Amino acid sequence: MASLKRIDMNGADCGTVEASDRVFDAPANEALVHDVAVALMNARRQGTHKTKTRREVSGGGAKPFRQKGTGRARQGSIREPQMRGGGTVFGPVPRSYRQDIPVRFRRQALCCVLSARARQDRLNILTGFRVDAPKTKPLAQMMDRVAPEGRKTLLITAQTDENIRLSARNLPRLTVRTAADLNALDVLRAVRIIVQEEALPSLEERLS
């Protein structure tokens, strides 16, 4: 069993918690993590980029100037790609960037990155955590105590809590995810991982 450090809302050491080796002591697999992270980032792309081709731009019904005698290269339309205001050759069109990644690979990659943070001593279990009212200041003060380095922190909760969501939305270095919604990209983008103690069983059940 993996041993994870337990802390309270004041950042004080409260011993350790035994956790699943399969989730928090998984072997590293950089290639798998890279593939899953790229797929997750691609899935967030809108893919709505679009440029007009020659047949879509307006104008160009007649030759811009006569064929011979001008000393210029012959042109058949002002909407040719080489003309100013002309159409784009092989320009971007709306498309989906989504990649099919098996659920098993997504879960394995999440275990890899969680294990890496645990081995780096950057993953802690938070006990006694609750937010009674949607206020940003108390949550910000608590995060300063449990994550004193002030870098990007990921807070994993057991379930969606409106008070936590409203309190955290104005904290730029804090990201809140539930155990059910967590993915590998969220962990990769955070330096410090704080797991609510009540969320640990749900996380282990999902990934084991």
- Write down the pTM of the prediction: 0.84
CA 90 to chain centre: 30
CA–CA gap between residue 58 and residue 85 (Å, rounded): 9
What's residue 208's pLDDT?
82
What's residue 149's pLDDT?
80
- Burial class from Cβ neighbours inside 10 Å (0-12, 13-18, 19+) for residue 136 reads middle
Q: Are strands 13-19 and 2-7 parallel, antiparallel or unpaired?
A: antiparallel
Per-residue pLDDT reduced to its tens digit, 76-98: 999 999 999 999 999 999 999 99
When computed from its CA atoms, the radius of gyration of the chain, rounded to whole angstroms, is 27
Domains of the chain and CATH, by start: 2-46+99-207 (3.40.1370.10), 51-91 (no CATH)
Q: What is the chain's mean pLDDT, rounded?
A: 93
Q: Where are the alpha helices (DSSP H) in the chain?
A: 21-24, 30-43, 103-119, 136-146, 162-168, 184-188, 200-207
Instruction: Kindly tell me if the per-residue pLDDT of 135 is higher than 90.
Output: yes
CA–CA gap between residue 20 and residue 106 (Å, rounded): 18
